[in-house]
Copies of this chain bind each other. A is one copy, B any other.
Amino acid sequence: MAEIVPLGEAVRELVHDGDVVALEGFTHLIPNAAGHELIRQGRRELTLVRMTPDVVYDQLIGMSCARKLVFSWGGNPGVGSLHRLRDAVEHDWPGPLELEEHSHAGMAAGYAAGASGFPFGIVRGYEGTDLAERTRVRWIECPFTGEQLAAVPAIRPDVGIVHAQQADEAGNVQLWGISGVQKEAVLASRRSIVTVEEIVPALEPRPTAVFLPGWTITAVALAPGGAHPSYAHGYYDRDNAFYLRWDEISRDRESFRAWMERHVLDREASPV
């Protein structure tokens, strides 16, 4: 049964240096508050996993939290590059960053396999691409048709972190709208943290809702606004202006550092 704890405590107890950590979110409900707490607590040597790393991963990389990135598309959606990610890959600043890259289909299959307890998932893809040599893909043959398919290893993070709209007192969680791979990320992970906009007396079923029972979650933490600058369907809209601004802020190492100190390091975890 999920414990409801302050975000700072959840991160302190569940995320350790060197862990494989997936902060998932597909443009919606991105766990930015949890990412900022990882930065404040100075986690190091993390393997960061996410299909679509964006601003918060750019921040984690620029603040030296990561040694490796597992991903399938890394950019500032609708804007352009992630300058901190590029700086790490192109110039080893603030340190070298190992990459393991997939296609979306491959990574989604890896998460689904992880959630199902399978050692691998299958994709009809990768064939003929240079990607196949750069990712952890193996070829298997269909025992019925002889067709060759790509096998991708199950994704099994040490910690899965997602943001949701609501939890109840028992730590059951409901999120709705675009749900990405959040369910798979939580179920595939050994430990999990879910930050939520609010804790409600009872979760009322909704269209498109994904429900995660409290007994599948390690910790739930209250973090209102915790998805900003992404959005929380029914709570607040995407701060598109910030994504555009981030392109400026993150272009330059000094302005990036200054922004992080002012807006993340000097801030407390969202009070509970």
Residue of B nearest to A206 (CB): B207
Q: Chain A 110-149 against B: per-residue CB contact (8 Å), 1 yes, 0 no?
A: 0000000111101010000000000010111011110101
The residue from B119, B205, B206 contacting A147, defined by CB atoms under 8 A apart: B119
Once the chains are docked, how many angstroms separate the CA of A127 from the CA of B178?
38
Q: Contacts A151-B143, A153-B144, A207-B209 known; A117 to B124 CB distance under 8 Å?
A: yes
Question: Are A122 and B124 in contact, CB atoms less than 8 angstroms apart?
Answer: no
Question: Are B119 and A142 in contact, CB atoms less than 8 angstroms apart?
Answer: yes
Question: Are B144 and A119 in contact, CB atoms less than 8 angstroms apart?
Answer: yes
Residue of B nearest to A121 (CB): B122
Q: Chain A 225-265 against B: per-residue CB contact (8 Å), 1 yes, 0 no?
A: 00000000000000000000000000000000000000000
Q: For the complex, count residues of A whose C-beta is within 8 A of B.
A: 23
- Min Cβ gap A114→B in Å is 12
Copies of this chain, whole number: 2
The residue from B145, B151, B207 contacting A207, defined by CB atoms under 8 A apart: B207
**Chain A interface helix/strand/loop/mixed:** loop
Once the chains are docked, how many angstroms separate the CA of A153 from the CA of B151?
17
User: Which A139-187 residues sit within 8 Å CB-CB of chain B?
Assistant: 139-140, 142-145, 147, 149, 151, 153
Question: Are B118 and A144 in contact, CB atoms less than 8 angstroms apart?
Answer: no
The residue from B119, B136, B143, B209 contacting A120, defined by CB atoms under 8 A apart: B143
Contacts of A153 in B (CB 8 A): 144
- Min Cβ gap A213→B in Å is 15
Q: Contacts A205-B207, A205-B208, A207-B206 known; A142 to B124 CB distance under 8 Å?
A: no
- Min Cβ gap A249→B in Å is 38
Residue of B nearest to A139 (CB): B143
- Min Cβ gap A165→B in Å is 14
Question: Are A120 and B138 in contact, CB atoms less than 8 angstroms apart?
Answer: no
Residue of B nearest to A147 (CB): B119
Once the chains are docked, how many angstroms separate the CA of A118 from the CA of B138?
16
12 A-B residue contacts at CB 8 Å?
A119-B144, A119-B145, A119-B149, A120-B144, A120-B145, A122-B122, A136-B144, A138-B143, A140-B143, A142-B151, A205-B208, A207-B207
Name A's B-contacting residues (CB within 8 A).
117-120, 122, 124, 136, 138-140, 142-145, 147, 149, 151, 153, 205-209
Q: State the 10 A-B residue pairs at the shortest beta-carbon distance, nearest first.
A: A138-B143, A205-B207, A119-B142, A119-B145, A144-B153, A143-B151, A119-B147, A120-B142, A140-B143, A120-B144
